[in-house]
Chain A
Amino acid sequence: MKIGIPRALSYFDYFPIWKTFLDKLGFKTIISSPTTKDILDKGVSLCVDDACLPVKIFHGHVADLIGKVDTIFIPRLISVSPGEYICPKFIGLPEMVKNTISDLPPLLVFNYDLHKGIKYRGKAFNTLARQLGLSGGVVDRAYKEACSMQDKYERMLKSGQSPLNILEPKESWDESIKNKVTIGIIGHSYLLCDRYISMDLIKKIQNKGYNVKVPSNVPDKKIEENIMDIPKRMFLSYGKRMLGSGIEWLKCDEVDGIIFLSSFGCGIDSFIEELIRRYNAREYKLPYAVFSLDEHSGQAGFETRLEAFLDMMEWRNRIGHNFSAHG
């Protein structure tokens, strides 16, 4: 049986565990092709208008898989960490897909809820296997291998590699170049790793000779520490990671500038961006820019803004602490 996995949303965070698990169980996994204009347009036309860009793209990827596979894997990530949630739209994703796309093959809905504890992770995968008619030792072995694959991926990320380098190892990026200037890009992994929709932001910045850091490079311990200072527990996992890494970069002087990559209509971004911007403006005063993406974003305007931002940063580094570049 061929199982299709849409290359969107949480795919970029969890594909090692999903793909390995399904592969080891003996299924053929097919991943939808990288986002193209066609996929985006399809998603936009299928999905409700008010949804955010990443969810629209997810719809496009699901549509892309129709006809190529026997069943489509739709993750329903309710919670990936105890006591936390992700986003209401992630929880309602299977319903959104079911009710807006017609002619769907059967869906393989993967319920994943660790809200009550980490021990439910194994159970979630067991249930997934049972849906596919498998149980017993095969499943345990597949689960173990999948977990170690996921750990490996996360270790690579924590060691400072850009997720794009891991995802697309062919286009290797020379690790030996150690640039002086580092830019931190805050954003959801599904924006940063999608080269079409993020207009290849990571590569663009790397090609101009800068180091890039993304939130998934920041160790969990640091995130937890930084979050403690916030008056209320951050209960959204992605939000927590972005906020925690933002504060980390502001505090530790690790980066020379911060770019916040946000998508139009993202509810979490609107709050996290506001907090980071206000903290930065009040105390740290690092160069900071917000790039907002939607289905109409133009490449030229995006590039101009990026160049302007980098120029500003360069001026500031060169001229030192003269007032002009500090705004």
Chain B
Amino acid sequence: MSTAAPNVIEERESSILVKGRQRKSHLKCDADSIAGCVSQRACVYCGARVVLNPVTDAIHLVHGPIGCASYTWDIRGSLSSGSELYRNSFSTDLKENDIIFGGEKKLARAIDELVEKYKAPVVFVYATCVVGVIGDDLEAVCKKAAQKHGIQVIPVQSSGFIGNKSAGYQAACDALLRLIEPRSAACPPGNKHEVKSINYLGDFNLAGEAWIITEYLRQIGVEVNTVFTGDSKCSNLQKAPEASLNIIQCAGSMFYLAQQLEELYGIPYMRVSFLGLEDTSASLRSIAAFFKDLQMKRLAEELIQRETAAVKSQMEGYREKLKHKKAAIYVGGGFKAISLIKQFRELGIDVVMVGTQTGREEDYQTLHDIADDGTVILDDANPSELERFMTEKGAHLLVGGVKERPLAYKLGVAFIDHNHDRKHPLSGYVGAVNFAREVHATVCSPVWKYARGTGGGNYAGLPQC
């Protein structure tokens, strides 16, 4: 018998579960969205673009009609310590004639004109939907341009319809592997543990987050060889094979790259998370353990103690104000969702709903394991579902991305952007405090008093913040 409410589509039932209420502990995920749904998901191009865009000194050329370039113009909030070239928007702006006769010539001209203007070491050429249909030979055009200009011109196979955002992550990783490739002969895989140098995968330096983590690692004696891809430059990325370890923050986008780097260059990888105090400390410890270096272990313990002590009173202050509030989570990847649950626990906040756009089966298994009984877990949710479960569960706060913000606000629910639009670094110890401050700023805003007056909000009966 169906237990779903009328506004839950039948096909969607297998993508939603309530912990402790149902016997099943796994849910349908990683599947295509249903036609006619208000999905919060994006496309292959989107996935590829968000991964590659932080490469600061690259020309990011979007091959297609104008829209795809317009919507991704400088929206990521990835900071650069050098070039600002990546913040421009380059498009071949395909017109009807190009669709009929092919866009290859225009693409070649665009590459020529841009390379002449900007002298960049690499051009990424993104395929959009229509390019996949009209059959432009991106490989051939890029190869020719690369020879002509003596730089790398790398096609990114990101036509929107060939899969979902995850396929775009993989297309981006393939492009990165091609960028790295030419130098592979120079650094044969060997015993790299002697060099305490790592690649930091899956941090896009939003609000400067990668800089915080790089500094922690420096303090315990680990050098960050390159970040994939926050504040990265072509020349740094090409040195990736020289590292002795890859650590992965955003596994959704970078797990594939880590596997490839291990296979091709013998670099082992480990998952880390620098979201929240608990995960940050655990991650630093595992990195130190990997290098089997007593000095590093000691430095790590000292750093953990020092940084934890530095934020302790602030965290306790926020915890006092925020405990017993209820949070809902709807983010892109599974690993971020897992970290957020732990981070909310540190603040005494109960998570009542958790969902992702592209989480994988093992992510959902972990979410199920760590969630409290009664927590709603869902994949590829639509706004009606988010509304229903937030209202039913009495959430005070939603963590999500750009499309979820006004939805939460309309319901009188506070909101935190844990995506492109974040304004403060949320990583590491300092990030944990920023996160707590952001939660406090929104949950305890005086605006909800007025929102309550119009019927919204879930604050009745709660102690004042």
Mutual binders A and B: no
B interface residues, Cβ below 8 angstroms from A: none
A interface residues, Cβ below 8 angstroms from B: none
